[in-house]
Amino acid sequence: MNLRRHLRSATLALTANKVRTALTMLGIMIGVLAVTLLVSVGDGTRQFVETSLQSLGSNLLSVVPGRFEARRWGYVGAAVEKPLVLADVELIQRRATLITAATPVIFGNATLRHEADRRSTSVFGVAPEFLRVRRLRVSGGVFFTSQDDQAHRRVIVLGQTLVHSLFSHGSPVGQSIRVGSERFRVLGVLEGKGRSLGVDLDDMALIPTSVAQDVFAQRGINQILAVARDDTRPELASQQIESLLALRRRGERCFTIQTQDDLLRTFSSITGALSAGLFAIATISLLVGGVGVMNIMLVSVRERTREIGVRRAVGATRRDIMLQFLIESLLIALFGGGLGLLLGVAIILTLRGALDELPLQLSPTTGLLALASSLLVGTFSGVYPALQAARLDPAQAVRHE
Amino acid sequence: MTEPLIAVRDLIRDFRVGGQPLRALGGVSLDVATGEYVSFVGPSGSGKSTLLQVLGCLDTPSSGSYRLAGQEVACLADEQLAQLRNYKIGFVFQAFHLLPRTSVLDNVLLPFSYRSGKATAHEALALEALELTRMAHRRAHWPNQLSGGERQRVAIARAIVTRPPLLLCDEPTGNLDRRTSREIIEVFEDLCQRLGITLVMVTHDADVARRARRLVRLVDGRVVYDGDPRGSDL
C-alpha cells in the first residue's frame, strides 16, 4: 500500500469521527501553543537582555567593589569588601590611556518634592562624564559641571517621568525642588528613554558626586563606569584599569571589572536557563497531549477491531495496519500542532501589537521546534496503539462484536 | 487432470480456551474444484467457520496441508498470506462488515487500498462490481442509509471487485429476512455463473444450503457428509 493510499485511508478514518478527532487534536494544540508561547517568551527575554546591554555600548566597563567570580548562574561574591573611592576614578581618568571617559556612581533612593507633588525615585551621584558614558542627552537646560561638583552645589538633572510627576505645568528648569530635606535647583532635563520590560528608564535623578556623598552620608562609591577607546579591545582597557587599581591597593584585587561581554555571557546563561525551564514546562503539556492521543488511539484500535479484521481479510498486512494507525496519530499531531502554532503566532502578534514592551520573539526556529515536537509526540503516542492493532489476530478480529 | 482450486488434507486446528486444549478441526480432507458451489453446514461449534477462516488464509492450521490454486499456504508468511487474500479470495460476512461513515464506493474500493495501480481504473472496477450487484445508484451513500439487503449487496461487490477465483461467505443471509435472503442467494448464483467464481458458503439455513451443488456437513471438527444436498438430511 503506498503512502498516498495510507494517507487517504487515515483521513477517511479521522473524518469519520470528527468530534473525537477534534478533541484529540485539542490536547496537542494546547501543548504546541504552550511550546510556541514559552519559547517565544524565552527567546524574547534573551534578545531583550542582549539588545539592552548592547545599547549601552560594547566598550562600556563597570568596576564594582568586592571580588566576584563569574559562574554559570551569575556572580558569586566574597563577603570582604573594600570600597572604591573618588581617588580611584581620578587615577583612571588620569592614567588609563585606553579609556575615553570614566565616572563614579553613587546610588540611593530619595523622595523628591515640588510644591504638593512628591515621588520616590532613584538618585545617582555622578560626574559630568556620565552623559557620555551612558549615551544620554539633555533635552532641556544643561548638565552640571565639575565646578558644581567641587562647590557641592545642590543642583539636579531630572528624568522625564519625574518631570511629568512633579511639574504638571511649566518647565522645571530653574525651579527648586526638595530631595529629602534639602533644597535643589533643577539644572536640566534628560531626553526620554522609555520603558523596557516594565522598568521605567526615565524614573531617575542625577546629582553631582560630592553632593551625593553628603546626601547619602557615604565616602565610598558604588560603581565606576568607564568607556574604552574605540580603537582598543575592552579586555585590554579592563586589564589596564585592573593593574592601576591593584597598584594603589598594593596588589590586592578587591574589586571586579566587568566588560559588556562578561555581562552578556552571564545574562545569556541566565536567560538560557530560563528558556530551558520554560521549554521543560511546555514539554510537559505536550506530553499530556501525547498521552491523550495515545489513549484515544488505543480506544480507537479496540473500537475498530472488526474494521482491522476486514482490512486484513481484504489484503492488509500487519505493516499496513501499523502504518495506518501510526499515520492517523501523526496526522492528529501535525494538524493539532499546526493549529497550535498558528494560534500561538496569532496570540504573539496580537500581544506585541497591544503591548510593544513584551519580550515576545517569533523566529522560524520556534515554528520548526513546535512542528518537530508535535511530530515527535505523534510518533511517540502512535507507535504502541499501532503495534497493538497490527498484532491482532485477523481471524478473531473479523469476528469481533 | 487439473488441480482443484482448494485441496485440503488432514487439516487440524487446535486452540487453547481458558487454558484447556480444544480441537476445532480434527483432520479435515476435501477438494473443491474451480467454479463449484459448496455449502458447509453443521451445528454450532462443528468447526465450519474455523474451516472457512483457514480456507480464507485468515487462520493457519495447526497441522495438515492446504493448497490454494496449487500453492501450499500453510507455511506462508504474513505478507504472502495478505497478498493471497487480496488476489485470490473474496469474503462476505453475516453482519456485512462495511466500514461505517465511509461511502459505498469507498467500501467497495477497500481491497484496492492494498495493491498498486491507477485509482481511476480501480474506481471503474468498483463501479462495475456495484453494477453487477445493482447498487451503483447508491455509491455515494453511507452504509447506515441502506437496508440489510442493500448492505449485503455492497459487501458482495467489495468481495468480487478484484475478481478473485474464490468467494467465501460466512452465513451471508443470517441477518436477512426470507425474501431478501433469496434475492442475495440469487445474486451469488448469478455472479458465480457469470464470473466463474468458486463459492464456498457456511450456512444454517437449510433452504440456502439446498441450493448449492454440493453439501459438506461437519460435526465436531470432522466431515461427516460430502455430496449432493438432496442426499443429506437437512
| Interchain CB contacts (distance < 8 Å): A and B | 75
Please provide the average confidence, as pLDDT, over all residues in chain B.
Answer: 92
The interface predicted TM-score (ipTM) is 0.94
What are the tens digits of pLDDT across the range B174-216? 889 999 999 999 999 998 888 899 999 999 888 889 899 999 9
Which residues, including other chains, have CB under 8 Å from residue B65's CB and lie 6 or more apart?
B7, B8, B9, B10, B11, B72, B74
What are the tens digits of pLDDT across the range A152-208? 999 999 999 999 999 887 889 999 999 988 999 999 999 987 766 556 778 999 999
Residue carrying the nine cell digits 434475492: B183
- pTM (predicted TM-score): 0.73
Report which DSSP code applies to B144. Answer: G
- Does A395 lie at the interface with B, CB-CB under 8 angstroms? yes
Q: For position A71, what pLDDT does the model report?
A: 54
Please provide the average confidence, as pLDDT, over all residues in chain A.
Answer: 86
- What is the arithmetic mean of pLDDT over A78-86? 71
Torsion-angle region of residue A378: left (phi > 0), alpha (psi -120 to 50) or beta? alpha
What are the tens digits of pLDDT across the range A255-289? 888 888 887 787 778 888 888 888 888 888 888 88
Correct CATH for B36-58+87-226 of 3.40.50.1970, 3.40.50.620, 3.30.450.20, 3.40.50.300: 3.40.50.300
The domain spans of chain A are: 3-52+267-399, 83-253
Torsion-angle region of residue B230: left (phi > 0), alpha (psi -120 to 50) or beta? alpha
Q: Which residues pair with A140 in a beta bridge?
A: A189
Q: Considering only CB atoms, which chain B residues are within 8 Å of A319?
A: 79
- Find out whether B218 and B41 touch, Cβ atoms under 8 Å: yes
Q: Considering only CB atoms, which chain B residues are within 8 Å of A394?
A: 58-59
Share of chain A above pLDDT 70, in %: 94
User: Between A2, A9, A307, which is nearest B116 by CB?
Assistant: A2
Mutate which of B114, B142, B166 to test chain A, going by most A C-beta atoms within 10 A? Answer: B114
Q: For position A325, what pLDDT does the model report?
A: 92
- What is the arithmetic mean of pLDDT over A128-138? 89
Assign A321 a pLDDT band (cuts: 50, 70, 90): very high
Lowest mean per-residue pLDDT among A209-213, A270-274, A346-350, B126-130 = A270-274
What would the DSSP string read from start to end of B64-113? EEEEETTEE-TT--HHHHHHHHHHHEEEEETT--PPTTS-HHHHHHGGGG
Q: How far is CA A200 from the centre of its chain?
A: 16
A312/B99 CB distance under 8 A: no
In whole angstroms, what is the distance from residue A279 CA to residue A288 CA?
Answer: 14
Which residues in chain B (79-108) have CB-CB distances under 8 A to chain A?
A: 79, 82-83, 85-87, 91, 93, 97, 99-102, 106
Nearest to residue A292, comparing CAs of A30, A35, A33, A27?
Answer: A27
Provide the residue type at A378 as one letter. Answer: G
- What is the arithmetic mean of pLDDT over B35-52? 93
Q: For position B116, what pLDDT does the model report?
A: 86
Q: For position A4, what pLDDT does the model report?
A: 77
